[in-house]
Structure 1
Amino acid sequence: MNALTGGKLKLVQAALRLITETRSLTSLGLRELAREAGLNPNTFYRHFKNLDEFGLQVLEYIAEDMKSGVRELRRMAESSEQASHDTVTFVYHYFLANPAATTVAVRELHGPSPVLRNALESQLDASANEMAEDIIERQLVSAVPPETIHEISRMTIRYILFRAMDYLEKPDQRAIIQLETERFINRQFRGAMVDELSENGLQALLNRQR
């Protein structure tokens, strides 16, 4: 659950209401934001030093809103396939229910503010680390080395975000996009398991020939 309250919460929620397909977080004006939140414009500076600090709070709000649900699903999964299916379903449904959050995440990753770009990159890396740790802890792909699990997790998080706008903007293709995303994740882990088994098998063959 998010701990934001009062004016901070109102401003963050106002920003998410104002963001549309043609507007990004960094394009919002302070007066417009305050008016949407039902606050005096001067209230903004009682809570935030500048727009970058406000943007960081918006990104944190979005991340915290999603993380706990995703982790709970992964911790209940009995297989890597179930984990990927449940995670992709939850995340895409979250994006569908919160399109402004998706727009913020996709646009600010390549937006004009280096502060927000770096913060979003850090959030993606943190989500990838949590994903990898959950997979390792549950031994969902035990044949794959931890460093490879972390590598695949980083690719997975970015792939899901890459497909997020397609999922929102192409309702007739949502089932296909979800299936493709699950296949992408599963193929990465299966490929890593095959690589690991192949390397071990080759080494065993070389050892027998010595």
Structure 2
Amino acid sequence: MVATDEEAVARPESRAERKEQTRRAILDAALRLCEGSSLVALSLRQVAKEVGIVPTGFYRHFESIEDLGLALVDESFVSLREMLLDVRVHDPAYDDLIDSSIDVLVEHVHAQQAHFAFIAREREAGPPAVREAIARSIELFERELASDLQRLPGTDAWTTEDLRILSNLFVTALVATAVAVLHASDDPEEEKRLVESARTQLRMVLVGALSWRSDR
């Protein structure tokens, strides 16, 4: 028998559901508490107090503050990677790839401002394990993009290293754009200028890329 809406509402939450809600509350609390500083200044006691659990309750979800930070890194990058991968699958042309990638990036920054602010801070000032995780996530972007660029017209004869260099230029520009859009979130005109500048920058890179030959 299929449960009615009323029965679903009345059904008590399972232990797994309550555990997931607490885990989510811990992640959200960490994002709030380190807004003005860094994860290195955050203690699990602060997080536990913010959530309303005892400090030992923290360990039912994360091994340490660094472990919590690694989970936030994963959250910040996974959905963006999936969205950008979808762009690359459906937009094989260079101009479409640039425009769609920037549009997706800006949309994601607006939807996940706290996560992007976290990445921007922790990339430079976070615990070593978190900084390394962010660097690995960005490197993964580059490897995936390099693989996809090989399918585009004009790059089929490029060396792996040249594809990596072009991918690095793309990802570096996108990361810089994300940070700039984050800082300009209260100024729509400045954000528009930044986005258009990023589009132009990447198109200029591609003008040179389209005439590049790896045997030079």
Could you state the TM-score of these two structures normalised by the residue count of structure 1? 0.80
Q: Which residue of 1 aligns with 2:193?
A: 176
The CA distance in 1 between the partners of 2:169 and 2:157, in whole Å, is: 16
For residues 96 and 187 of structure 1, do their structure 2 counterparts lie closer, same or farther at Cα, with a shift above 3 Å needed? Answer: same
The CA distance in 2 between the partners of 1:59 and 1:197, in whole Å, is: 35
2:59 partner SS? helix
The CA distance in 2 between the partners of 1:8 and 1:151, in whole Å, is: 39
Q: Which residue of 2 aligns with 1:205?
A: none
More helix, by proportion: 1
Identity %: 20
Deviation sequence 1:28-58 (CA, Å, 0-9, x none): 3323322333433222122222211211111
- Contact 1:19–1:100, Cα closer than 8 Å, also in 2: no
Residue 191 of structure 1 deviates from its aligned partner by 0.9
For residues 195 and 78 of structure 1, do their structure 2 counterparts lie closer, same or farther at Cα, with a shift above 3 Å needed? Answer: closer
2:36 maps to 1:13? no
Q: Which residue of 2 aligns with 1:97?
A: 111
Give 2:161's match in structure 1, choosing from 125, 137, 147: 147
**Which residues of 2 match residues 9-48 of structure 1 at below 5 A?**
9-20=24-35, 22-48=36-62
Figure out how many residues of one structure are paired with residues of the other and give that number. 194
| Unaligned residue ranges in structure 2 (runs of 5+) | 1-18
For residues 66 and 39 of structure 1, do their structure 2 counterparts lie closer, same or farther at Cα, with a shift above 3 Å needed? Answer: farther
- Contact 2:117–2:182, Cα closer than 8 Å, also in 1: no
The code of the aligned residue for 1:43 comes to G
The CA distance in 1 between the partners of 2:167 and 2:90, in whole Å, is: 18
- Contact 1:80–1:135, Cα closer than 8 Å, also in 2: no
The CA distance in 2 between the partners of 1:14 and 1:186, in whole Å, is: 40
Q: Which residue of 1 aligns with 2:85?
A: 71
The CA distance in 2 between the partners of 1:181 and 1:159, in whole Å, is: 7
The CA distance in 2 between the partners of 1:84 and 1:38, in whole Å, is: 45
The code of the aligned residue for 1:15 comes to A
The CA distance in 2 between the partners of 1:102 and 1:33, in whole Å, is: 20
Residue 122 of structure 1 deviates from its aligned partner by 0.6
Deviation sequence 1:105-124 (CA, Å, 0-9, x none): 11211114221111111110
For residues 24 and 99 of structure 1, do their structure 2 counterparts lie closer, same or farther at Cα, with a shift above 3 Å needed? Answer: farther
For residues 11 and 144 of structure 1, do their structure 2 counterparts lie closer, same or farther at Cα, with a shift above 3 Å needed? Answer: farther
